[in-house]
Amino acid sequence: VREHPSEHPDLGQLGRHFAGFVRARFGDRPELGDLATLEWARAVVFFEAPATPIARDALASIGPERFVSAGMRFVPALRLIKLEHNVVGLWRRLEDGLAPEARSDEPVAIAVWRPTFEVFHTAVASDEALALERAMAGAPLAEVCAAFEGREAPAEAAFAALASWLDEGWVAAFDT
């Protein structure tokens, strides 16, 4: 608080610089800053406005002629964060009351979302993270699906990702 005093009328914003503070203070434990980043993303998502997601059958309603140019809008309670260390396992172990294992120096993308009153997070593969990043930036579905071009079955991988996003309640609407 001394290093990063409140700059916002909302006291809930006080911790937004905590991850940077942890990185500066504990440089020999860089995964701790990533853990703080994940915690902050979870807190932000928790306080986002509720929204009603669309169901998977909305994908079929787009139709093949409009699919490539359609865009997606996401619920406010979704974030994609990219971290230098895979802290998903560390989070799980700490949550279960277990001692942390050796850190993972593997970069990771993590989706953080809240469908109801509980916040979830999961690691996503790099191509899915790219697709999600594109979709969240307003790219058309053709460009979103192109993120899977390196897969053996890119169309199936793209459909599986889109279906998963719909099933998890991340998508608020399709723009056609």
DSSP state string for 33-87: HHHHHHHHHHHHHHTSPP-PPPPTHHHHTT-HHHHTT-EEEE-SSEEEEEESS--
Selection from 108, 140, 150, 51 nearest residue 162 by Cα: 140
pTM of the model: 0.88
Mean pLDDT by 10 residues, the chain (176 residues): 65 66 80 92 94 92 90 98 93 88 87 95 97 98 97 96 96 94
- Whole-number pLDDT of residue 24: 82
Question: What is the three-class DSSP state of 119?
Answer: coil
- Whole-number pLDDT of residue 35: 92
- Whole-number pLDDT of residue 13: 60
CA 92 to chain centre: 17
- Whole-number pLDDT of residue 4: 57
Neighbouring CB atoms inside 10 A of 166's CB total 19
Give residues with Cβ within 8 angstroms of 168, minimum separation 6: 113, 115, 120
How far apart are alpha carbons 125 and 82 in whole angstroms? Answer: 11
